[in-house]
Chains A and B, each alone.
Chain A
Amino acid sequence: MIQDWFFGLIGGLMIGAASALLLLGNGRIAGISGILGGTLTGLPQMRGIAEGLAFLAGLIGFPALYSLAFEAPTITVTTSVATLLLGGLIVGIGTRIGSGCTSGHGVCGISRLSPRSLVATGTFIAVAAAVVFLTRHVVAQV
């Protein structure tokens, strides 16, 4: 298990470096829900749809190449299709209403000590933990 936290830390540094690159290079916040939602729905204040698409191409295209070159990472999902659909839908709506997700609020916002991001991150981690508690320990399976 020592390896797990070590790889977590290294991976986290990479995520932070990627976000720092986008901020210092392009002046943009690497919030995935913001880039995805803003690029796809073409919000008026989004500058550079092309750069949003380029970021998404890297985020989706790199793992595709990685999986061809090496072994695809193990991804274990135990939820039903109905739960996947419900979960995806409310993640999509919630991240747009709340202006961010784990990357935008959790990394980019907290690292500048944004009060909004601290509150949002505390809220979504607490609610997610409560939902996991309910589904794993109270209700047998959703």
Chain B
Amino acid sequence: MRQLIALVSGALFALGLIVSDMVNPARVLGFLDVAGAWDPTLAFVMGGALVPMAIAWRLATGGSHPLVGGDFPGRASPVIDTRLIGGAALFGAGWGLVGFCPGPALTALGTGNAEAMVFTAAMITGMFGYALTAPSPRGI
């Protein structure tokens, strides 16, 4: 059951990225290019995505449990440190250089896009390289 839910969630996530055109780096860079022909689409995508999730977090509180059992994630950590900001800045630099973030890169890879394959190979290399040297990451 866990695997089936995860599979459906991944597929629906990819469909959302395709429908919204966030799978296309040109569209994402259009949002980030505030000094050019600004494209607000990404803001609508984020706004749309926040609605079901805000409802889900409400349902996930008050002693309830996930459908398959177990527990919901604990309270969000309040720690804001240099790791958080430095990591986010590094991620932002790569995102701005190419226009791919992890979700769209994997979805674009699924469509057979060659650039997404190159990007994802480098991204996974970075993740492994970090995992070899670093302590385990904090929650969101």
Q: Give the size range of A's interface with the partner.
A: 35 or more
Given known A29-B73, A74-B24, contact A12–B137 (CB-CB < 8 A): no
For chain B residues 50-96, which have a beta carbon within 8 Å of chain A?
A: 50-57, 59-60, 65-68, 70-73, 76-80, 83-96
For chain B residues 8-43, which have a beta carbon within 8 Å of chain A?
A: 8-26, 29, 32-36, 39-43
Point out the residues of chain A lying under 8 angstroms from B134, CB to CB: 96-97
Point out the residues of chain A lying under 8 angstroms from B76, CB to CB: 109, 112-117
Interface of B is mostly: helix
Measured CB to CB, the closest approach of chain A to B136, in angstroms, equals: 6
Measured CB to CB, the closest approach of chain B to A24, in angstroms, equals: 5
Which listed residue, B14, B97, B116, touches A58 by the CB 8 Å rule? B14
User: Of B51, B93, B127, which is in contact with the most chain A CB atoms at under 10 Å from its CB?
Assistant: B127
User: Is the Cβ of B53 less than 8 Å from the Cβ of A19?
Assistant: yes
Point out the residues of chain B lying under 8 angstroms from A131, CB to CB: 32, 92-93, 95-97
Q: A residues near B, CB below 8 A?
A: 4-5, 7-34, 36-37, 40-41, 43-45, 48, 50-52, 54-64, 66-67, 72-79, 81, 83-117, 119-121, 123-133, 135-137, 142
Q: B residues near A, CB below 8 A?
A: 2-26, 29, 32-36, 39-57, 59-60, 65-68, 70-73, 76-80, 83-103, 105-113, 115-116, 118-131, 134, 136-140
